[in-house]
Structure formats: structure tokens, C-alpha cells
Amino acid sequence: MAERPEDLNLPNAVITRIIKEALPDGVNISKEARSAISRAASVFVLYATSCANNFAMKGKRKTLNASDVLSAMEEMEFQRFLGPLKESLEVYRREQKGKKEARKDKDKKTDSEEQDKSREEENDDDDERMEEEEQNDEEEVDN
């Protein structure tokens, strides 16, 4: 857990970037306003996490999942966030699925390459053995 209340604040760089994206160009914001927004965002995240945790506990689970967060948003009366959150969740899941498939393809390719290398090594070993046998046969014939 956090030792001080400040430990629960979101990183200032993240807050600053979000503020800049939300405001039109040329609009400045004071340090106090940025600090207030940071604290408000931290309180919102903590409250949402607490509500989502309650849903997980009702389900006798210790791990929060996306449905817990969506249910928490609804309970907190932030229904207008549900649509964008669901869309973002779908995008995230598609990206993760794509990454997983790419990893599988890469692993298959790596396995195939390793099998090819081991076959080549076996063939090289066989060639060496055959050469040695031929040399031994030639030596026996000479004797």
C-alpha cells in the first residue's frame, strides 16, 4: 500500500499529456490546476477500483476483470463512459490476439528453422561418418 497520499497520484507527465490533448492549442494551465486535476483523477481511479473490487468480491474472486470495471462505471452513474470503454476494450483484445498469433507464427517459424538446422547437422554428421568409413575401407584394402 501507499505510505503517503501523494503516492496514490497519477504521474504528472501523464496528466500533463492528457490535459494538453483535451485543450485547444495555445491554452495554458497553471500548476495548481494541473495538481487539482491530478488529485481528482487519482480519486476517480481509486473510487472506480473500489467499486470494481466490490463486484469481484461478490463473485468470490480476488482478481478484477473488465466486466467488474464496466459494472463499476454503471454503478457510479458514468454510463456515458461505457461505450468508449467497451470500444477500447475490444481494440485492446484484438491487438492482444494479433500479438499472440504473431508470436505463435514466429514460434512455428523458429521451430521449423531449428528442425531444418538439426536435419542439416544430422546430414553433416552422416556425411562425415560415410567419409570416415570410406577412408577406413580404403585403408583396409591397402593392407
pLDDT at residue 96 greater than cutoff 90? yes
pLDDT at residue 12 greater than cutoff 70? yes
How many whole angstroms separate alpha carbon 60 and alpha carbon 39? 31
Residue entry with cell 492549442:
25
pTM for the model stands at 0.62
Task: Give the rounded distance of the alpha carbon of 4 from its chain centre.
Answer: 29
User: What confidence tier does 6 reach under pLDDT thresholds 50, 70, 90?
Assistant: low
DSSP of the chain: --SSGGGGSPPHHHHHHHHHHHSPTT----HHHHHHHHHHHHHHHHHHHHHHHHHHHHTT-SS--HHHHHHHHHHTT-HHHHHHHHHHHHHHHHHHHHHHHHHHHHHHHHHHHHHHHHHHHHHHHHHHHHHHHHHHHHHHHH-
Give the pLDDT score at 57. Answer: 95
User: What confidence tier does 75 reach under pLDDT thresholds 50, 70, 90?
Assistant: very high
How many whole angstroms separate alpha carbon 44 and alpha carbon 51? 11
The fold for domain 1-77 equals Histone, subunit A (1.10.20)
How many whole angstroms separate alpha carbon 119 and alpha carbon 111? 12
User: What residue segments make up the domains of the chain, in order of their start?
Assistant: 1-77, 83-142
Average pLDDT, whole number, for the chain? 84
